[in-house]
Amino acid sequence: MTLIELLPAIRQLSTPDKLKLIRILATELDTDTDISPLEPLKTYDLPTPYNSFGAGETLMQAMKAVD
């Protein structure tokens, strides 16, 4: 059965049943091992706006240029 075939039935579910479905699917995803390319217990550097001095000014200039 495809997702397109399931969607009409899912949309007819009550809100509590939709929440139960979400919990079931999340639990199944949690047990799948190949869900993410990230490795357990490994540290990943993520870019953040912290210590990015001048980023706000650059963003403001870009927004003004759009106007």
Query: What is the reported pLDDT for 33?
Result: 63
Terminus-to-terminus CA distance in the chain, angstroms?
A: 48
Per the confidence metrics, is the pTM higher than 0.75? no
**Helical residues (DSSP H) of 1-67, grouped into ranges:** 3-11, 15-31, 55-66
pLDDT the model gives residue 34: 65
Per-residue confidence (pLDDT) for residue 7, from 0 to 100: 94
Q: How far is CA 54 from CA 40, 47, 58, 59, 60, in A?
A: 35, 15, 6, 9, 10
Write out pLDDT tens, residues 43-66: 888 888 787 788 888 888 999 998
Taking the CA atoms of residue 20, residue 26, residue 29 and residue 31 in that order, the dihedral angle to the nearest 10 degrees is: -80
